Amino acid sequence: MKIIDVKATPVYVEMEAPLLWSMGVEHGTTRTIIQLFTDEGIVGLGETYGGAEMVRRIEEARPLFIGLDPFELQSMVQHFEVFKVTSEQMARAAEMKFVSAGIEMAIWDILGNALNKPLYKLLGGANSTFVPFVAYVFYRYEKNGIGGETTPDDIVRRYGELVERCGFEGVKLKGGVFPPEEEWRAVRGLRETFGDDLKYLRFDPNQAWSTETSIRYINRMEQFDLEYVEDPTWDLHGLSLVREDVRIPIATNQAVISLPQIAPAVRLRAIDVLLLDMYFWGGISQAKKVAAICETFNLGVAIHSDRDLGIGTAAALHFWASTPTMSHSYDTHYHDQVGDVITEPFVFKNGGLCVPEGPGLGVTLDEDRLAYHAKQYLEHGDDVEFFDPKQRPGWVPHLPLF
């Protein structure tokens, strides 16, 4: 069997209400859907970041995977590793990681379909095929009568809605938007309102705080029994200064995104939990490697999700279930997104999702939905979540914000 062609389609999917974060606002998500064709008629599905620029990068990368036998998957992974070798590749390095992740995802889908096995079995099997999630709660602008959460009471109410709808037993609050005192009150409100029923409470100010603000407010949050605080301040040195003076575990998805950054993170004792983003790391194979390194150094592991659609979500579910060292539940934007490109979008039950049992990723592309969201992309373009030109014209984010 040989890979003979690839088709990449940029799509745009709206959020039900705009999501606020430290650096701007997310109105929707731009993703690229990959269809990888073989000479035996099997078509593999993949997903990755980006729009038209990502399509150009995929076309540029065709020599790295066209003509390969899908069972030579590691050869494809190695072909992409050239982009981490030298600073001369900086212009392409990040985007080629995203390309590699999407292409590898599609190859795994091909292999699963060829062998009539779900991906998690190709990755070694799973102790459980139920993947637990926590709610992902943002401050939001109002849109068509939905959203508008700006106060601690609003945040408490929003989490309650998601518990009722999805059965979650935990929450990650996205902060870095309002002054720390206001967001501290939101964390307090969640703990006081839901008590022990809130098993997992996370907070993520997205690097917006200075080291001194981080130390002061994380120590004040200790009474609320947080699972971890994610990226309170920026870079490994800043995180190490914070970690030295707080007892709540520190997690990151922003300060450690490449293999050379793991060793200094360990030496500096900067983090307790590494949040794996399959796209940042270059795909499932590389993420598996990182999970093994984390096991060696006793770092917790979880998945970072940044507006994955159904294809990417399916891949992450297979990864989570087949990686026994996963130590924290999954959080995702999925419950905030309006639309998908698969025939049977995921529905949360009992606070989680089941890994698809069909061959490969176990999801099917809906051509009509793909066409609709491709048209939405032509109308919206790439969703640039940095800045906030409509609501805060002239506002420019900077670090630290507080």
Q: List the catalytic residues.
A: 174, 304
Handedness of CA 346, 349, 352, 358 (dihedral sign): negative
- C-alpha 109/C-alpha 190 separation (Å) is 40
CA distances to 175, 205, 248, 256, 338 from 202, rounded to whole Å, are 10, 10, 10, 19, 25
Instruction: State the first-to-last Cα distance of the chain, in angstroms, to the nearest integer.
Output: 56
- C-alpha 206/C-alpha 227 separation (Å) is 16
Query: Could you tell me how far CA 171 lies from the centroid of its own chain?
Result: 15
Residue type, 154: D
Give the count of beta carbons closer than 10 Å to the beta carbon of residue 195.
8
CA distances to 8, 230, 293 from 359, rounded to whole Å, are 22, 35, 29
- What is the residue-wise DSSP string for 64-102? GTTT--GGGHHHHHHHHGGGGT-GGGHHHHHHHHHHHHH
DSSP assignment letter at 356:
P
